[in-house]
Structure 1
């Protein structure tokens, strides 16, 4: 299977990308050359269908973050590493004496340059360094090298930005362009290709949706037709509700549309999804996600995957809720406290996310999305089995009862 990768970089970088992949018949390149990195976001709006995106560096990638949020393909950037800097310094030394103290250089990460200087035992010899920030101004960077050359009588400038190389060349200032190293490029493109293949595997997985139609109005039932269209799903009416058979990729694509988001809000708490290796397992996972939403009184929609991890779809948090316990410690806690796997999963993420190890019932209630009374019941179960300890009290007001302060007493990492 061939992978089409969109390349965003200077014209020179795009040409080198073609040279680097001449022997890689499984890779197709689609080139998007720019003059300066800040042009990358506008170029992204002209992106043709592809499997992955590779940027020449962090500057065009960071500038494109907002646009990338709506593009459902993996994207990475070529990091400036020690190999790139060392190769460039070696190339300079082959043409003239390498005098670091007579050099100006701009880099994306000063720590990478300092690591190279330490490795070659440069001692106190240091070039004039400019660290490129995401909001750098091209004219300021040109001025940095120009001033360094004129005022400090330096004999060479080294730049990571091709547009700066062109400007300094026009001004007659001796300049070297940071060299793109083939091995680093191939590592980056292999990485993005692997991510593309993984995403294809994930998006092609069977998925099922279920819409609880027991309390839906006639108007809301019409929404099922629109949902089926947006999900590219086969829709059937069953005893459990209205079922949608589709793929995980179709769900991800639908999530990007305002129409789906509006419909999902209309049927809040009644729509859930599941994925699995078979239609049956996907349907069962969707039913489990629906029961969780209705039991916990969470709006959703959620998707329960084949690993029994529950993901919120409209407001992704980055962390999933475990609906089954496979860790021996958590299995023991579940048995002794009668707490559900979902609650234990949330307790574990609560312990990981807290800035302090100590918490109150209000803190826990806020994290679990439940009332304080429900959080207190959970704490009592933990206390009775010694999976939590009372460590003190806090008094936030002059009047009223002090609030107990607790600590979890089980591994959360």
Structure 2
């Protein structure tokens, strides 16, 4: 059973748990309640109970967790829509006996509710907006609202912070807390649980790891004594058995320096760094490069087909890169490294394929370039950029871009001068 941490102030956590347990009976929920948002950092660094997924009550605790751990697929937050603003304006109207004309509101800088405050300014006489970063001191938010109230400039306040809401109420300010509606909580938690189930099915897919010592025949020829070869194979097998233990898998020797490890997708993805470390160790032991192809699939046949294709790609690249091909045909290039790229090698766009064929460029090559540009967030690029990051010669990169330009899939948008002798460098972008 997966464990899900529910993080937020007590009021939010209780609302979420009540709905979550109505929707999903097969998950275990662990409440992580905070008084101050600064506690979230410790929650994710040192969880009191190990959990598989994290559900945050709002953007603020979610963003704090991201700052600590970086992007995580296991992190999800419940978003607030414009409905939460208008719901609390209605509540404020009931509280003061009329539609408010002057209010104060605080919102996190990076969320979409900023647009709604602009609309409110057109409806009301005055809307005081405080945009803040998630690391702001709650005292600053309280002072923002309270000072406006003391000056008589507002009739009520809307805040994202429950502690600020409580303090404003204590000092007599008509205040309401901007929290997700019941429908928003229900919708997000239901979608999140579907994601968890999908993750479970992906985790249990078959994962086949094909590992091949390159030019094994040449290594055998160098070994003048058969015992030396047998010792080498024992050392290799010891490393592979250690890898099997990490992957909870089984090892099959296919002969001539080629091995297969049968495991699950979840184990492989969790231990991809271990795979990389053991492959480097095999390379040192054999004094040769090692190709690694990993295939995922719902069946052994599908996983094996993908693994064989992946190891061919690995051998073709020749950089001892781990190549993964997933069940949908998506390729993960240089898996486990900072240079990792994810792209598809198939497309059903006939016109696109026709243009690539005219330029003598494969779908895989184009998708690889596209994935790199997206990952690096380049507005433009040079052929040297491609050559460095895709580990190809600059001449080859120039040829590919020239052919893409010829079929109108790339375009030269300018030049870059380096204030030195030689021609300016051309800048390109994909069309």
Scaled to the shorter chain, the TM-score interval is 0.7 to 0.9
Q: Establish whether residue 262 from structure 1 lines up as the match of residue 277 from structure 2.
A: yes
Q: Establish whether residue 190 from structure 1 lines up as the match of residue 211 from structure 2.
A: no
Mapping of 1:84-233 within 5 angstroms? 84-98=84-98, 100-108=100-108, 112=113, 114-115=115-116, 118=119, 123-152=123-152, 154-214=154-214, 215=216, 219-233=235-249
| 8 Å Cα contact 2:95/2:174 also seen in 1 | no
Partner in structure 1 of residue 19 of structure 2: 20
Q: Residues 181 and 399 of structure 1: is their aligned pair in 2 closer, same or farther, counting only changes over 3 Å?
A: closer
Q: CA deviation at 1:182?
A: 0.6
Q: CA deviation at 1:244?
A: 0.8
Distance 1:18 1:389 in 2: 53
For the residue of structure 2 that corresponds to 1:134, the secondary structure is coil
Q: CA deviation at 1:243?
A: 0.6
- TM-score normalised by length of structure 2: 0.79
Distance 1:185 1:321 in 2: 33
Partner in structure 1 of residue 56 of structure 2: 55
| 8 Å Cα contact 1:21/1:27 also seen in 2 | no
| 8 Å Cα contact 1:213/1:221 also seen in 2 | no
Say which of 309, 315, 322 aligns to 2:344: 322
Greater Cα shift, 300-309 or 109-118: 109-118
| 8 Å Cα contact 1:82/1:113 also seen in 2 | no
| 8 Å Cα contact 2:291/2:318 also seen in 1 | no
| 8 Å Cα contact 1:7/1:30 also seen in 2 | yes
Give the number of equivalent residue pairs: 402
Greater Cα shift, 28-37 or 85-94: 28-37
For the residue of structure 1 that corresponds to 2:30, the secondary structure is strand
| 8 Å Cα contact 1:227/1:263 also seen in 2 | yes
Q: Residues 293 and 111 of structure 1: is their aligned pair in 2 closer, same or farther, counting only changes over 3 Å?
A: closer
| 8 Å Cα contact 1:159/1:178 also seen in 2 | yes
Q: CA deviation at 1:297?
A: 2.3
| 8 Å Cα contact 2:210/2:293 also seen in 1 | yes
Partner in structure 1 of residue 258 of structure 2: 241
5+ residue gaps, structure 1: none
| 8 Å Cα contact 1:74/1:195 also seen in 2 | no
Q: CA deviation at 1:198?
A: 1.8
**Aligned-CA RMSD value:** 3.6
- TM-score normalised by length of structure 1: 0.82
Say which of 245, 249, 267 aligns to 1:250: 267
Q: Residues 60 and 396 of structure 1: is their aligned pair in 2 closer, same or farther, counting only changes over 3 Å?
A: closer
Q: Residues 227 and 333 of structure 1: is their aligned pair in 2 closer, same or farther, counting only changes over 3 Å?
A: farther
| 8 Å Cα contact 1:393/1:405 also seen in 2 | yes
